[in-house]
């Protein structure tokens, strides 16, 4: 499975890659030279909207994709290029905040996260995913309807780009 490093202008793309389970390094504070070094050292694909950075990456031997267009076009073109299925599954997702791996917490273990979520959320949901690194907690709440709808939209856009 490919791993990615995403430039500061492509934060939404980084989020969607993480939601689909891809290890995606993203920081708004990293210098281009450091991005290139990390991409080389960790064998990450560099996704950038900066043509100069893309050229430098190619010259340095980094696998790179110049990403342009609307957010939807960016996501669809990257997913198409790397064979990524437009499916967000919390069991496979990575933390959208820090890229950490998520740990599944079922109803028998949920007391572990009781202090980290609102009481109503804790009482209503049976299944959670916990990031040990940043202590974020995720669950399949109402936002997943929007996530699933977005993934359907990306799948449709991918099919038009393939033609």
Q: In this structure, what token pair is assigned to residue 21?
A: 């389970």
Q: State whether residue 96 is helix, strand or coil.
A: coil
- Paired strand residues for 138: 129
CATH number at residue 13: 3.40.50
CB 86 within 8 A of CB 152: yes
Instruction: Provide the domain limits for residue 132.
Output: 102-138
- What is the per-residue pLDDT for 162? 74
Question: Would residue 25 count as lying in a domain?
Answer: yes
**14 vs 162: which has the higher pLDDT:** 14
Tell me, yes or no, whether 96 lies in a domain: no
40-83 per-position pLDDT tens digit: 999 999 999 999 999 999 999 999 999 999 999 999 999 999 99
Contact 73, 156 (CB under 8 A): no
Same domain, yes or no: 77 and 12:
yes
């Amino acid at each position: 499975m490919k791993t990615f490093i995403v430039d500061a202008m492509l934060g939404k793309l980084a989020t969607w890659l993480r939601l689909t389970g891809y290890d995606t390094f993203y920081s708004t504070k990293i210098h281009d030279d450091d991005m290139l070094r990390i991409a080389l050292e960790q064998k990450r694909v560099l996704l950038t909207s900066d043509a100069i950075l893309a050229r430098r990456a190619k010259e340095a031997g980094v696998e790179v994709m110049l990403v342009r267009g609307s957010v939807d076009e960016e996501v669809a073109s990257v997913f198409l290029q790397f064979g990524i299925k437009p499916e967000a599954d919390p069991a496979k997702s990575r933390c959208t905040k820090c890229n950490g791996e998520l740990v599944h917490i079922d109803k028998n273990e949920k007391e572990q996260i009781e202090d980290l979520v609102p009481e109503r959320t804790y009482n209503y949901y049976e299944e959670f995913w916990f990031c040990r690194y940043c202590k974020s907690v995720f669950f399949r709440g109402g936002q997943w309807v929007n996530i699933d709808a977005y993934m359907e939209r990306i799948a449709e856009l991918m099919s038009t780009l393939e033609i």
